[in-house]
Structure 1
Amino acid sequence: MQHRSRFLLAATALLALGACSSIKDHRGYIVDPVLVDSIQPGIDNAQSVERTLGRPTFISDFGRKDWYYVAINAQQKPFGSPQTKDQLVMKISFDEKGNVAAINRSGIEKVVRLNPDGDKTPTLGRERTFLEDLFGNIGTVGAGGGGGASGDNTGGPNGS
């Protein structure tokens, strides 16, 4: 009986540890370094690039028709949000004849981590509380500077 309880305890511990493991995820192009390194500017053209690397992740809409291959490796810890661990963005530029003109690669150094403040938007000016917003105009209607009896026409947008 004691062996059975130890076995159940060990099995429960293994299941609990397995449930707390990180999730690894790959998104986008699957990089084969040999194929990527085989593309040469001035030698390859759009057709040979597509045959070697496959269809690009996306093609630029404006200006030159540059091809982009994007690969992202992310990791998500339990109860957390995914974090980018590794990234490759390969941009292949073509000349007017359709030959490869340049190949540019960038990695994780181009990733920007944003930490937006979801509670409020920072603004210029005075900080006001909820009650000041709610009751802030009480007593200001008809106060001086409204252009009433003094004949001053600078009070409102219509001069009144």
Structure 2
Amino acid sequence: MFSKRPFDVSRMAIFATLAGAALATGGCTSIRDHRGYIFDPALANAIQPGIDNKQSVEGTLGQPSIASQYGQPVWYYVSSTTSQRVLGVPNTEKHEVLKVAFDASGNVASVTRGGMDDVRDINPNGDKTETMGRDRSFIQDLFGNIGTVGSMPGGAGGSAGGGPNGS
């Protein structure tokens, strides 16, 4: 009825080897990610100081990634490309910043570009955050207010007429 085919061990071994290699290779590839503004060099080079203003810059480049809130008006167009291995730390491959500064009347005063040379590595101290004020222990923070509630004039235990509405 049915013809029996002998089990081919060599084909199965080759298939298993190729499947294992494909899985192993997939784990070694990098994940690329782009964040921020997508630069078009022709558009970025088209912005000219003294010629363009805020409206023409926004029409050419679009909304900025970051706009200054204080001082001289400055728009920043920021772009970063990173790669990361599986379960690894992201590595910045490319970083570009286009800084467009405006004068008081809204005209472009200067255009500067920055790159990877301007990136600074910041290592925050994860152990303790420095604050202004007293340096108190946990026990002092926990029991520090005992006896102080109501002892001030106008408080709950103070003179009469010290409520929040003066009554």
Structure 1 and Structure 2 fold alike (TM over 0.5) = yes
Partner of 1:24: 32
Q: Which amino acid aligns with 1:69?
A: Y
How many residue pairs were aligned?
Answer: 120
Q: Give 3-state SS (helix, strand or coil) of 2:35's partner.
A: strand
Q: Give 3-state SS (helix, strand or coil) of 1:23's partner.
A: strand
Q: Which amino acid aligns with 2:83?
A: Q
Provide the rounded CA distance (Å) in 2 between the counterparts of 1:117 and 1:66: 31
CA RMSD of aligned residues (A): 1.6
Q: Which amino acid aligns with 1:48?
A: S
Provide the rounded CA distance (Å) in 2 between the counterparts of 1:45 and 1:53: 12
- Rate the CA distance shift 1:27–1:114 in 2: closer, same or farther, 3 A: same
Runs of 4+ in 1 over 4 A off after TM superposition: 115-118
Partner of 1:6: 14
TM-score computed with the length of structure 2 as normaliser: 0.66
Partner of 1:91: 99
How far residue 9 of structure 1 moved from its aligned partner, in angstroms, is 1.3
Provide the rounded CA distance (Å) in 1 between the counterparts of 2:78 and 2:124: 25
46-55 or 12-21, which deviates more: 12-21
Partner of 2:65: 57
Structure 2: segments with no counterpart, 5+ residues: 1-7, 129-167
Provide the rounded CA distance (Å) in 1 between the counterparts of 2:53 and 2:102: 8
Partner of 1:74: 82
Q: Which amino acid aligns with 2:20?
A: T
How far residue 113 of structure 1 moved from its aligned partner, in angstroms, is 2.2
How far residue 115 of structure 1 moved from its aligned partner, in angstroms, is 4.6
How far residue 55 of structure 1 moved from its aligned partner, in angstroms, is 0.4
**Of 43, 51, 63, which residue of structure 2 is paired with 1:35?**
43
Structure 1: segments with no counterpart, 5+ residues: 122-160
- Rate the CA distance shift 1:41–1:117 in 2: closer, same or farther, 3 A: closer
Per-residue deviation, residues 10-69 of structure 1 (Å, max 9, x unmatched): 122112111221111111000111111111111111111111101000110110221010
